[in-house]
Chain A
Amino acid sequence: GAVVSQHPSRVICKSGTSVKIECRSLDFQATTMFWYRQFPKKSLMLMATSNEGSKATYEQGVEKDKFLINHASLTLSTLTVTSAHPEDSSFYICSASWFGGRARINEQFFGPGTRLTVL
């Protein structure tokens, strides 16, 4: 299947700093990328949907100024957690989808996740 990578896999930062997480589709062009947040032993919560070259669409309750999403190319989306605080500590997962060709409509390929710890 299609491969999605995330970098870094783990990051520890101090409160008040910003952290950038990269999501890459390695062997396909992703027309849409999704960012999720997952708390321990909980389900995935969609944060935002991003399409290449356009602004991300954020879910209700997600602060767009705190969680900056950039989808600059068909293979790369970034999530920047600005002025991170301990409550932002979580597991962040991206997914990518491509409509047409190898990927069927609605099929999402998930990355391995990034564990963010804010001290």
Chain B
Amino acid sequence: GENVEQHPSTLSVQEGDSAVIKCTYSDSASNYFPWYKQELGKGPQLIIDIRSNVGEKKDQRIAVTLNKTAKHFSLHITETQPEDSAVYFCAASWQGGSEKLVFGKGTKLTVNP
């Protein structure tokens, strides 16, 4: 089955700096890669996603890149703000297959003012 590894487990940056979180996946059939932000005591919130027919996607300060050959994808947050502090999860799934999301272990991002 699919296995998703996520690094780093914790990340601390200064406000205004960029943050990068990386994930690798094992199943080449996976073709949908969402990123979720989870605040304490709340459910995950989708912040951006990418499908395998695209190499990069950007939404304001957030971008995701995908390298299908290497089976890895990354989340980039620019101009970080204290409200970006949260736990971020990457996930992978197979569109047209099981539909199940397999999550990474999460990255706790702390943005220091």
How would residues 36 to 56 of chain B score, 1 for a CB under 8 Å from any chain A CB and 0 otherwise? Answer: 100001111110010000000
On whether the beta carbons of B106 and A49 are closer than 8 Å, the reply is no
On whether the beta carbons of B89 and A110 are closer than 8 Å, the reply is no
Given A105-B96, A108-B101, are A93 and B106 also a contact pair (CB < 8 Å)?
no
On whether the beta carbons of B100 and A110 are closer than 8 Å, the reply is no
Given A42-B105, A105-B95, are A110 and B45 also a contact pair (CB < 8 Å)?
yes
A-B Cβ contacts below 8 A, count? 55
Query: Chain B residue with minimal CB distance to A109?
Result: B46
Q: Is A74 an interface residue (CB 8 A)?
A: no
Given A43-B103, A46-B101, are A110 and B95 also a contact pair (CB < 8 Å)?
no
Prevailing SS type, chain B contact patch: loop
Query: Chain B residue with minimal CB distance to A6?
Result: B43
On whether the beta carbons of A1 and B103 are closer than 8 Å, the reply is no
Query: Chain A residue with minimal CB distance to B105?
Result: A43
Q: Is B93 an interface residue (CB 8 A)?
A: yes
> Considering the complex, which residues of chain A in the window 1-16 have a beta carbon less than 8 Å from any beta carbon of chain B?
1, 4, 6
Contacts of A72 in B (CB 8 A): none
What's the minimum C-beta distance from A101 to chain B, rounded to whole angstroms? 16
What's the minimum C-beta distance from A117 to chain B, rounded to whole angstroms? 13
Contacts of A108 in B (CB 8 A): 34, 46, 101
Contacts of A113 in B (CB 8 A): 41-43
Could you say which of A6, A32, A93, A111 contacts B99, with CB atoms under 8 Å apart?
A32
On whether the beta carbons of A107 and B49 are closer than 8 Å, the reply is yes
On whether the beta carbons of B100 and A46 are closer than 8 Å, the reply is yes
What's the minimum C-beta distance from A115 to chain B, rounded to whole angstroms? 7
On whether the beta carbons of A106 and B32 are closer than 8 Å, the reply is yes
Q: List A residues at the B interface (Cβ < 8 Å).
A: 1, 4, 6, 32, 34, 42-44, 46, 49, 93, 95, 97, 105-113, 115
For this complex, 14 residue pairs linking A to B, each with C-beta atoms less than 8 Å apart, are A1-B46, A4-B43, A32-B99, A43-B103, A43-B105, A44-B89, A105-B95, A105-B99, A106-B93, A107-B34, A110-B45, A111-B43, A113-B41, A113-B43
Q: List B residues at the A interface (Cβ < 8 Å).
A: 32, 34, 36, 41-46, 49, 89, 93, 95-96, 99-106
